[in-house]
Amino acid sequence: MLTDKLAVLYEGQGDSLAFQQLADRLGVPLRNTVQADNLSEPFFLSWRNGCLKLLDRELLRKGGLTVDIDPRNGEQRSWPAPKQGALAQALGRKTKTVVDATTGWGQDSLFMFRMGYQVSCIERSPVMVELLADGFHRLNQQDWMQRLQLSAPQLSTGNAIDLLATLTTPPDCIYLDPMFPPKRKKSALAKKSMVILRDLLGDDTDKDQLFNVALQAAGKRVVVKSPDDAEPLGGKPSESFSGKLLRYDVYLKV
């Protein structure tokens, strides 16, 4: 249960009302740094340097993980960035609208958004939704976003298995990146942000059902991101594109 795992941490950052409201929304305790030595929860949310951050015990002393709204290293900074690389190939040249049904830290959504796709996001973890809403709010404040009159992707909270079935206009593509059980040693695993997500939320054991619903709801294709050593989620894909330690499997609708 989230109540045993997570608390909101108030570290004396001015008015504590927003902290209390966040704790109430999530139904978790509000802790004060004064009690830091006997905190029982393994995870915390707190605003640090103007960003909502997720912390574990290792990150408590400094840092924290936030939804990163900056372009990746080497990515073109003007909008839209060129539609290049394995993900763009998997999305296909004619794709305009994408629903990211497993938004997580929003890194794939934001990458697609910066390449000019029209992206909508779904996330079921209320903790990740809070972090995403904070990140998307910061994105909307960026000069370049305002200059180009752009808005951050729309974010829906809930289980995509239910929400995808209610879409009135099928998106060209539904994008899935559920959590697969790790096969590699932890040291060879992904970034800290993905390790903490797994520790907090566990594996997505209903991903087969999610795939089936996505295939029904998509206009033209479903793209599944998976570790390169994982079995394809929907059986043999129509095509596959490989990235570093990962694969994008494409399922075209017939």
Ligand X SMILES: C[S@@+](CC[C@H](N)C(=O)[O-])C[C@H]1O[C@@H](n2cnc3c(N)ncnc32)[C@H](O)[C@@H]1O
Site for ligand X in 149-208 (CB under 6 A): 159-161, 177-179, 197, 201, 204
CB of residue 224 vs ligand X: minimum separation in angstroms?
11
Tell which one of 64, 104, 153, 237 touches ligand X (CB under 6 A): 104
Amino acid at 243: G
Q: What is the dihedral of CA 248, 94, 101, 188, to 10 degrees?
A: 20
C-alpha angle with apex 151: 146 to 156, nearest 5 degrees?
155
Tell which one of 19, 43, 44, 105 touches ligand X (CB under 6 A): 105
CB of residue 54 vs ligand X: minimum separation in angstroms?
11
CB of residue 229 vs ligand X: minimum separation in angstroms?
16
Q: How many residues bind ligand X (CB under 6 A)?
A: 22
| Dist CA 18 CA 10 (whole Å) | 10
CB of residue 128 vs ligand X: minimum separation in angstroms?
5
Tell which one of 28, 47, 54, 123 touches ligand X (CB under 6 A): 123
Tell which one of 53, 114, 124, 138 touches ligand X (CB under 6 A): 124
- What's phi and psi for 230, nearest 5 deg? -90, 150
Site for ligand X in 64-83 (CB under 6 A): none
- Pick the piece of the chain touching ligand X (CB under 6 A) from 20-28, 71-79, 118-126, 246-254: 118-126
According to DSSP, the residues that pair with 226 across neighbouring strands are 247
Q: How many CB atoms lie within 10 A of CB 170?
A: 16
Q: Which residues contact 124 (CB under 8 A, 6 or more apart)?
A: 157, 158, 159, 160
| Dist CA 247 CA 224 (whole Å) | 8
Tell which one of 16, 97, 125, 240 touches ligand X (CB under 6 A): 125
Instruction: Identify each DSSP E strand in the chain by its residue range.
Output: 6-10, 30-32, 43-48, 51-56, 97-100, 118-123, 154-157, 173-176, 221-227, 239-243, 246-252
Tell which one of 108, 130, 134, 172 touches ligand X (CB under 6 A): 108
- Note whether 116 and 83 are within 8 A (CB): yes
- Note whether 66 and 52 are within 8 A (CB): yes
Does 234 sit near ligand X (CB under 6 A)? Answer: no
Closest residue by beta carbon to ligand X: 104
Residue 216 in tokens: 């029904």
CB of residue 132 vs ligand X: minimum separation in angstroms?
9
CB of residue 82 vs ligand X: minimum separation in angstroms?
19
CB of residue 100 vs ligand X: minimum separation in angstroms?
7
Residues at the contact surface with ligand X, assessed by CB under 6 A:
101-102, 104-108, 122-125, 128, 159-161, 177-179, 197, 201, 204, 210
